[in-house]
A and B are shown apart, each in its own frame.
Chain A
C-alpha cells in the first residue's frame, strides 16, 4: 500500500529535490556501494514513487533501511531538502506497512524499554556483572562487539535525575539549564553528565535534571516508532518547560530534540532552547566564564559525530574546547563521513556499519594521535571497537575538565 500515516514524507518535502546529485559523494552508503539506490537522490526517487501510488515493498524497505540517517546529504544539498525528516516519515510508514516481528521487537525496545529507567538500570547492572566476570559469551552475538566497546559500567549508580545544583562561586546565576541525562547516556557515560553539570555550574548556571525527563526518542523516530517518538517528545518538552536552556551531552539526542517541532505541539519553542553541551561550554569559554589553559598539551584527533556536524552544524565548538584545554585538535576527515555507528544501524546493518567503522579507524590511525575526542556515545563505542587497544576515546568536555583539574575520576 502507499503512504498512510500522518508522518509520511510529503510531496512538498520529496518534490523539493531537484535531482542534481550533489548529495551522492557525501552519502557514505553511496560511496561504499556505488548504488544510486543507496543514495539520497535514489531514496527520494523511491519515496516519490510511493507517493505516486507504488506499494511499500521489500525493495523500498531495503533502500530505506540502508540509510544511516547521518544527514551528510543535508549539509551539501543546495535545495535544502529536509531529507532526515522525510526518511523518518518513510521509516514510520514501513513500520506500519510491514509490521514484522523484528519491527515489533525493536518498537518495544526503542519505544518502551529505553524510556523505562528501571529496565535500563537492570540491564546495565547485568552487563556490568558480565564485564567483571568476562562472560561476554552470554551476550547475543549481534550485540557482543558493542558490549565489548562499552566503558567500564557501574553495577549500581544512583540516577542523576531530580537534582538541582547551584552555580559555583560568587555572582548572580546566568540562568537555569535543564540537563538531558539521556537513557543509556546516564548509566553508561555518567561521567560526561557529571562533568557537564560541573562545568555549567562553574560557568554560572543553575542545573536541573528534571525527574520527569525520559529517553529523547531519537532511536524510536529513526526506526519508525513514530507514536513512541511523539509520546517521548511530548514528555520531555513538558519536563523542561520551565528552564531557559536544555543541555544535551549526546549529539544524537540533541539533534533529535532540535527537531521536536515535528513531534510535539510547541516543539519549535522547545527546540530553540536545546544546545549541545559543546555549544554551551565553548560559549562560556569564549565569554571568559570558564578558564583557558596556558599549558601546551598533546594533539587529539577529533571525530565529528554526524548528528553534531551535519544535523546540528556544530563544528567549531569541540575544536575550540580542546584548544582551550591546551590540546591541538587534529583533523581526521575533511568532510565528516559517518563512522557507521548510526544508532541501532550497527546492530541492524552490521556489514556496512563495519566497513564504515574500519574506514574511520584507518582515518584516525593515519592522523597520528592515539587520543580521540568524540561528542557522541555511539561513535565513541564504534571507534573503540574498530581502533582496538591503545587508544583513549572520550568526550571533548572530559578532556577539558581534565585539563582544568576538575575531573573527579580518571578517564575510562
Chain B
C-alpha cells in the first residue's frame, strides 16, 4: 500500500521529495517529546500545489496525514500512530512579502520563528511569540500549537499574531481563513485553525502580524526567601496595573542547576528568583521598573535590582534561557510538563508540586512563566532505571489533576497532542468535547488529518475511537 503511495508521491515531488527507507522512517518517528511511532512515508512538498497533490494521493490510498515542522513539539503532536504520511513542511520556508507599513508578512509554514524576526529586524519589527525553541521551531508549528513564550504575558499567544491562513483541507481544497483586517468578518475560523495541531487541515501560508521592536527595556532580578513571597510579588505587580513583557520564576533547584551550568549571577540560596522585563518607551520602563522593585521590597525580597547595562541584562536572560541546557546536563532524560493555574493559586500549586515530587522520588525543577500562571515542572530522570517511567507518568497525571482542580488548564502553550489527549475529560464535559469533535468532523469527516490527537476517543457520539498502540509511550 505505502510503496504504491511512495511511487505516486515520487511522481509528484520527484525522488528528492520522498523518503521511505526503513531507517529514514525511524528517524521521522518522533519529535522532542517522549512518544515514538513509525510513519509509512515522508513527503517534502515545496508549494501549496504540492500539498494539495500529496493530501489527495494520501486520501486515495487511505493513509492519514501528519504535518511536521522542525519536530520540536513536546506533546507528541507530530508522532505518527497509525499508517501515516508525514508531511514535512521544512522546505516551504519562504518569507514572501514583508509589508512594513501594515506590519505584516506572508510566510511559508516552514519558516523558522527566529529567522522571521531576524529578517524583519532592520525594519524595526519582529514576530512576538518567542518559545524557548524559537531558534528551531517553525511558524507552522507555532500556529498548530498556538505557541507562547517568555513574552506572551504582554503580547499574547500565536493566535493574536496571525491575520490570515491559507489552508489545504482534508479533501485537498485550498481555503483562506481570516484576512488582513484585524477583525475578520464571518465565522472566525482562523482562530479555530490556530491550535488545532494539524487535525483540521494543513497551513500552507500564513499572514503574520509583526510587532514593533521595543525602543527601551529594563530587566529586574529579584530573589526571595520563600516561593510565597515571590508569587505574591507576581500577583501584586499585575494588580498594580503593570504588565511586564516577561515575568519568569525559577525555584532554588533550578537556579542551582543553572549556576552549575553557566555563571548567570543567580543567588543560589534564595528559594525563588523572579526575572521581570518591562519594555516600551524610555520614561515608561523607568517608572515601571521602579514600581516592580518597590513591590518586591514590600514582599521581603532579599534583593531586587535592575540590570545596570545591556551586558548584565543579557546575562540574566541567558541564565533563564539556559535552564534547558542545565537540565540536559543532569540526566539523559527529562519530561517537561506544561500546565496552567490561576495566578492566585501559584503558591498552592507549588506546594503540591514539591509534595508530588517527594512522594514519587523524582527530581523536579521549576522554571515558569509566572505572570500568566503557566508552570513548567521539569522532571529529570534516567529512563533506564527500572520503574522510573511509571513514576514520571503517575506524577505527571497527578499534576494535571491538581491543576485542573485548582481551576487551571491542561496546557499553557505546548499543546495537547497525544500526551494530554486522555486528560481532556478533566476540563471538558461530554457536550464540550462533542462540540469540538463536531468541528473536527466538519473539516475532516474521515479522520485522516493527524488522527488520534487532541480529542480523546469517544468525544463524538457513535465514536468508538482508535486505541493508542501498545508501547508508544516510551
Contacts and interface: CB of A to CB of B under 8 A. Distances in A.
Interface of A: 15-16, 18-22, 24-25, 34-37, 41-42, 45-46, 49, 54, 57, 59-60, 63, 76, 78-80
Q: Which 4 A-B pairs have the closest CB atoms?
A: A78-B325, A34-B90, A79-B328, A59-B23
A79 B22 contact: no
> Which of B19, B136, B334 is packed against the most chain A CB atoms within 10 Å?
B136
B27 A34 contact: no
B88 A36 contact: yes
Given A24-B136, A25-B136, A34-B44, A19 B30 contact: yes
B27 A16 contact: no
Nearest to A50: B23
A78 B323 CA distance: 9
B110 A42 contact: no
A35 B25 CA distance: 12
A59 B91 contact: no
B133 A35 contact: no
Contacts of A25: 70, 112, 114-115, 135-136
Contacts of A60: 23
28 contacts: A19-B30, A20-B32, A20-B133, A20-B328, A21-B71, A21-B72, A21-B136, A24-B70, A34-B44, A34-B93, A35-B19, A35-B44, A36-B27, A36-B28, A36-B71, A37-B28, A46-B23, A46-B27, A49-B23, A49-B26, A57-B23, A63-B23, A76-B135, A78-B322, A78-B325, A78-B329, A79-B325, A79-B329
Contact of A59 (B24, B70, B322, B325): B24
B30 A34 contact: no
B136 A59 contact: no
Contact of B332 (A16, A34, A42, A63): A16
A15 B328 CA distance: 11
A55 to B, nearest CB: 9
A47 to B, nearest CB: 11
B264 to A, nearest CB: 14
A59 B70 CA distance: 21
A60 B70 CA distance: 21
B111 to A, nearest CB: 11
A25 B23 CA distance: 22
B77 to A, nearest CB: 14
Contacts of A20: 32, 72, 133, 136, 324, 328
A19 B31 CA distance: 8
B333 interface: yes
B21 interface: yes
Interface of B: 19, 21-24, 26-28, 30-32, 44, 70-72, 88, 90-91, 93, 110, 112, 114-115, 133, 135-136, 322, 324-329, 332-334
Highest count of chain B CB atoms <10 Å: which of A36, A54, A80: A36
A80 B90 CA distance: 25
B44 A37 contact: no
A302 B472 CA distance: 49
Contacts of A24: 70-71, 136
Contacts of B21: 59
A41 B90 CA distance: 15
Given A15-B332, A18-B334, A34 B136 contact: no
Contacts of B23: 37, 46, 49, 54, 57, 59-60, 63
Nearest to B325: A78
A19 B28 CA distance: 12
A54 B24 CA distance: 12
Contacts of B72: 20-21
Nearest to A78: B325
A57 B28 CA distance: 17
A278 B33 CA distance: 42
A301 B110 CA distance: 31
A260 to B, nearest CB: 25
A15 B88 CA distance: 25
Contacts of B31: 21
A22 B91 CA distance: 18
Contacts of B70: 21, 24-25
A79 B329 CA distance: 6
Given A25-B114, A25-B115, A45-B27, 20 more contacts: A16-B332, A18-B328, A18-B333, A20-B136, A20-B328, A21-B31, A21-B70, A25-B112, A25-B135, A35-B44, A37-B28, A41-B71, A46-B23, A46-B26, A49-B26, A54-B26, A59-B22, A78-B322, A78-B328, A79-B325
